[in-house]
Amino acid sequence: MSARDRIVLRDVELHALIGVYAHERAVPRRLRLQLELACDVRRAAATDTLADTLDYDAIVQRLRVLAVQERPALLETFAQRIAVVLQDEFGVAALRLRLEKPGAVPGAAWVGIALERGDWAG
């Protein structure tokens, strides 16, 4: 794999029941997800075939389902579960993700967690 190639998804909106406080768990919260997924795009570029690359629509749909199914207290837990799904179900060898929770802390636009998984050296 060429570690220089990446599929990038920005500002993916997810809705989840997440938080440690009761008021956070009453109504689904809006989360934003930033992703960089290592993916050698040479074959897809040559064949112009979706099957030869990461299907980012399928990824987003799967993560939206995960957001509804999971009910973690911590962003750290949900971010790790996202990373596991991307690696186990989509075969992503390396990824960077940032999960943002807008409005969680007064005076801050958002709080979040950033994870990096896998070998970017390829």
**pLDDT tens, position by position, 85-122:** 999 999 999 999 999 999 889 999 999 999 999 987 65
State the pTM of this model.
0.92
**pLDDT tens, position by position, 33-71:** 999 999 999 999 999 999 999 999 999 999 999 999 999
**How confident is the model at residue 122, as a pLDDT?**
59
Task: State the distance between the two ends of the chain, measured CA to CA, in whole angstroms.
Answer: 6
The catalytic residue positions are 101
DSSP readout, 72-110? -S-HHHHHHHHHHHHHHHH--SSEEEEEEEETSSTT-SE
2 backbone dihedrals φ, ψ, rounded to 5°: -90, 110
Beta-strand relationship, 95-102 and 110-117: antiparallel
Domains in the chain (CATH in brackets) are 6-117 (3.30.1130.10)
